[in-house]
């Protein structure tokens, strides 16, 4: 119902953020990893397509899960690694979608005066594609990322992906841009994280398994340190910090190494009988 002339006076880039993901494995990856990496890339791009060209009206709240939908096989999502139980990775339909919600979250934070974060939750394991304190996890029917447009004008979401310039053959960049009412001239907002503390993992947790042979091991969860991080969104005017906005403190709980060791006796090899040589044929 709006014309371009209606939109343009209040249409300016006010937030932008980019993360990078693999879409193809390398010779150093395992066969399983080479199969999973393209699936994860597919999920990232499917979710990016879903949020692209979304419009949030003034006073309206926007839900990632509502727009992207349930991540199920029936809905066309593929299996890729996702966090399970807080400390391990397992194959899940829609694995990798959190990179899209996280990239969107960081773009939204740059439009600080015009948004209100309604729901956002950190991962239990720090993400590899953003600094700690800047992630926004999502889970079908469980964890959502929701924000509200508190400005007097619509907000527009654009999401796109392209080959990474430094690694075109195996990496792509995901970019999310937020458009809306222009910030005052010379004003911008930048995120800043502060590491408050770090604690090493506790003692290894080792359990026995009768399904593994003696000498065999199975890693259930890698050892991870505990981190406490604070997030600030700093207000800059003409390049100078004028205000430090504390947002929250995140605690990544960490976990000890968890592994199983085998107790099943190694079977004694049965020697094969020595073959009887064939008789030499008579001339």
**Residue that the structure tokens 């990798």 belong to:** 96
Q: Which tens digit of pLDDT belongs to each residue from 228-281?
A: 999 999 999 999 999 999 999 999 999 999 999 999 998 877 777 777 777 766
On the 0-12 / 13-18 / 19+ scale of CB atoms within 10 A, 29 is middle
From first to last of its 283 residues, the chain has per-residue pLDDT tens of: 667 777 777 789 999 999 999 999 888 888 888 889 999 999 999 999 999 999 999 999 999 999 999 999 999 999 998 887 767 778 899 999 999 999 999 999 999 999 999 999 999 999 999 999 999 999 988 899 999 999 999 999 999 999 999 998 899 999 999 999 999 999 999 999 999 999 999 899 999 999 999 989 998 889 999 999 999 999 999 999 999 999 999 999 999 999 999 999 988 777 777 777 777 666 6
Whole-number pLDDT of residue 282: 64
Q: Which tens digit of pLDDT belongs to each residue from 187-208?
A: 999 999 999 999 999 899 999 9
> d(Cα 266, Cα 271) in Å, to the nearest integer?
15
Instruction: Mark residue 69 as left, alpha or beta (left: phi above 0; alpha: psi -120 to 50; beta: remaining).
Output: left
Buried b or exposed e, range 132-142, using 16+ CB within 10 angstroms: bbbbbbbbbee
> d(Cα 15, Cα 181) in Å, to the nearest integer?
11
């Amino acid at each position: 119902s709006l014309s371009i002339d209606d939109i343009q006076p209040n249409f300016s880039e006010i937030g932008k953020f980019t993360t990078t993901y693999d879409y193809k494995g390398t010779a150093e990856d395992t066969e399983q990893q080479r199969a999973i990496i393209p699936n994860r890339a597919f999920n990232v791009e499917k979710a990016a397509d879903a949020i692209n060209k979304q419009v949030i009206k003034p006073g309206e709240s926007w839900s990632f899960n509502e727009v992207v939908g349930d991540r199920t096989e029936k809905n066309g999502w593929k299996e890729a690694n996702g966090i399970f139980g807080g400390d391990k990775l397992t194959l899940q339909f829609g694995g990798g979608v959190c990179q899209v919600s996280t990239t969107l979250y960081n773009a939204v934070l740059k439009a600080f005066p015009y948004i209100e974060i309604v729901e956002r939750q950190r991962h239990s394991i720090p993400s590899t594609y953003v600094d700690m304190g800047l992630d926004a996890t999502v889970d079908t029917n469980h964890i959502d990322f929701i924000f509200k447009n508190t400005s007097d004008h619509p907000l527009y979401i654009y999401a796109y992906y392209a080959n990474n310039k430094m690694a075109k053959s195996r990496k792509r960049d995901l970019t999310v841009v937020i458009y809306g009412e222009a910030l005052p001239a010379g004003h911008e907002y930048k995120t800043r994280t502060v590491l408050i503390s770090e604690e090493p993992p506790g003692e290894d947790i080792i359990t026995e398994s009768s399904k593994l042979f003696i000498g065999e091991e199975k890693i259930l969860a890698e050892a991870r340190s505990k981190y406490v991080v604070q997030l600030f969104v700093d207000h800059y005017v003409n390049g100078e910090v004028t205000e430090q906005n504390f947002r929250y403190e995140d605690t990544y709980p960490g976990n000890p190494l968890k592994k199983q060791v085998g107790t099943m006796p190694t079977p004694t090899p049965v020697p094969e009988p020595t073959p009887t040589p064939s008789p030499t044929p008579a001339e």
